[in-house]
Amino acid sequence: MSTIRDVARLANVSTATVSRVLNKDTTYKMTEKTRLSVLDAVSELNYAIPTSHKDAKRKAKTSIKNAKIGCILRVTKKGYNDPYYMSVLNGIESSLRTSGIDLRFIKVAPLLYNKEQFDSIFRETLDGLILMDPLSDSLYPALKSKASIIVGIDTLRDDIDDVGYDHLLSGIQAVELLIRKGHKKIGFLGGSAEGGTIHDSKRFQGYLLAMVKAGLPMRREWIIDCEWKEELCMQKVDALCKESELPTAVFAASDLMAMAAMNSFYKNGVRVPEQISVIGMSNIEMSQYANPPLTTFHVPKEEIGQTAVRLLLSRINGEHTLPQKVLLPTTYIERSSVKELC
């Protein structure tokens, strides 16, 4: 089999010149005689022209546009109503559109636990999947068999790329900020993943670490597991207002729970931040319109979705590395729901 060196030798030119002719590179001038000499040598030696790097990139782009990509969405029982995950999904869809790709489907995680639904959703094998829910250990392997490449968002799965933010560190930072503002009686509002308890929550663990480090007391009635349900959050905060001494501040592990708590405080005549301070986590759009506007930490939700897409497309393009864990930074957003005591 002839090589590019054989062509160069027969045409009496350099291998670089042969490469420029074959790739139609006009960066440097060359005579028509030289070009024809190279093409004659190619024909005489029956040289098989390899795919150029540019052609390979062009083919990869073409195949990417035809990639079959799905998304499993993490939602509450109400369905598509959580602004946090909607913002992440918006980042996913906008990033895919720039590559000429539309999602084949968007399905909520609870549907996958029904075998008929699962089989219907995955009638065909996907090229890639973005997974926003960790799923159970029994269901996850079945999902992997249906998608050759999976990128997770806050799944904490070790065998796939995963994108998110540092929940533990963010919990510590939120509580430490309240402590710096003079608060010593601090409560927690939050939940956990499906099937877990509040003690599995990294944000709750961050709360515990910050309180222990500061030597501050924690009262059981100030730790509220609302299971990420707004109605339950309001009910439990309502009970707290009626039956117990209130903390001076509460760290809510999501803005939705923070605003639900603030609604309950308002109904019970407890003024925020004059009587109790509230800090959230995520900075969903509506948090700036809360009464008072919610102090929180901004989580780069759309960027999380965009980063997940970049990782997924690079895998589809053939990148082979160990699973990557990407944590994007959060940013403190000071508004009006936290009072300084010192």
Q: Which helix (H) or strand (E) holds 332?
A: strand 331-333
CB contact at 8 A, 292 and 332: no
User: In this structure, are residues 188 and 224 in contact, taking their beta carbons and an 8 Å threshold?
Assistant: yes
| Structure confidence at residue 36 (pLDDT) | 80
Mean of the pLDDT values across residues 29-50?
77
- Residue 47 above 70 pLDDT? yes
Whether residue 57 is predicted with pLDDT greater than 60 in this model: the reply is no
Beta bridge partners of 163: 153, 326
Fold type of domain 167-298: Rossmann fold (3.40.50)
Query: Looking at domain 4-50, what is its CATH homologous superfamily?
Result: lambda repressor-like DNA-binding domains (1.10.260.40)
31 by Cβ neighbours in 10 Å (0-12 / 13-18 / 19+) ranks as: exposed
Place of tokens 């499906």: 194
Q: Rounded to whole angstroms, how far apart are CA atoms 37 and 9?
A: 11
Q: How confident is the model at residue 63 (pLDDT cuts 50, 70, 90)?
A: low
The pLDDT mean for the chain works out to 89
pLDDT tens-digit series, residues 270-306: 999 999 999 999 999 999 999 999 999 999 999 999 9
Domain residue spans of the chain: 4-50, 67-165+303-327, 167-298
Tell me if 135 sits within 8 A of 124, measured CB to CB: no
With respect to CATH, is domain 67-165+303-327 assigned 3.40.50.2300? yes
Closest CA to 152 of 285, 315, 9, 333: 315
Q: pTM of the entire structure? A: 0.80
Asked whether the domain spanning 167-298 has the same topology as the one spanning 67-165+303-327, the reply is yes
The pLDDT-based confidence of 53 (bands split at 50, 70, 90) is very low
For 185-232, the pLDDT digits (tens) are: 999 999 987 667 899 999 999 999 999 999 999 999 999 999 999 999
